Amino acid sequence: MSPKGADALARDPASVFAALGDRTRLRLVARMAADEPQSISRLTAGTGVTRQAVTRHLQVLAAAGLVRGRRRGREVVWAIEPDRLVEARRALDEISAQWDRALARLRAHVEAE
């Protein structure tokens, strides 16, 4: 298909990385991945920021497709949605693979002279 290596990443994983590119958000993701689904209030504890700030972070993560919140009575329970996490990992793999191929090409080129 697309022989253009650089365009193999045409889909946009940047938004996922951007979502993970914040200390607080990354910690939130880690906590949601480690424990059971939790309410906003519980997730707020220990972050050092306001509940409203945590709410915004959760919305950013949700917009990136990384987490999902479900209403449960008077609270909203948030949990990981690992699909796009896999996508992000695949993007990194792709870049690494391209780099390996480029290295091999360079090596072959040098040895040919």
Partner DNA sequence: TTAACATGCAATCTGGAGGTTGCACGTATG
Partner DNA sequence: CATACGTGCAACCTCCAGATTGCATGTTAA
What number of other Cβ atoms are within 10 A of residue 53's Cβ? 13
What number of other Cβ atoms are within 10 A of residue 5's Cβ? 13
16-55 footprint of its own copies as x/- string (CB under 8 A): xxxxxxxx-xxx-xxx-xxxx-------------------
Residues engaged in binding DNA (CB under 7 A): 21-22, 24, 39-41, 48-53, 55-57, 60, 69, 73-77
Give me the long-range contacts of 25-33 (CB less than 8 A, separation at least 24): 25/57, 25/60, 25/61, 28/54, 28/57, 28/58, 28/61, 28/67, 29/61, 29/66, 29/67, 29/80, 32/67, 32/78, 32/79, 32/80, 33/80
Beta bridge pairs of residue 78 = 38, 69
Q: Which does 106 bind (CB under 5 to 8 A by kind): its own copies, DNA, none?
A: its own copies
Find the binder of its own copies among 49, 51, 59, 99 (CB under 8 A): 99
Scanning 3-11, 48-56, 68-76 for contacts with its own copies by CB under 8 A, the matching segment is: 3-11
Q: Does the footprint of its own copies cover residue 83 (CB under 8 A)?
A: no
Positions touching its own copies (CB under 8 A) are 5-9, 12-23, 25-27, 29-31, 33-36, 80, 82, 85-86, 88-89, 92-93, 95-96, 98-99, 102, 105-106
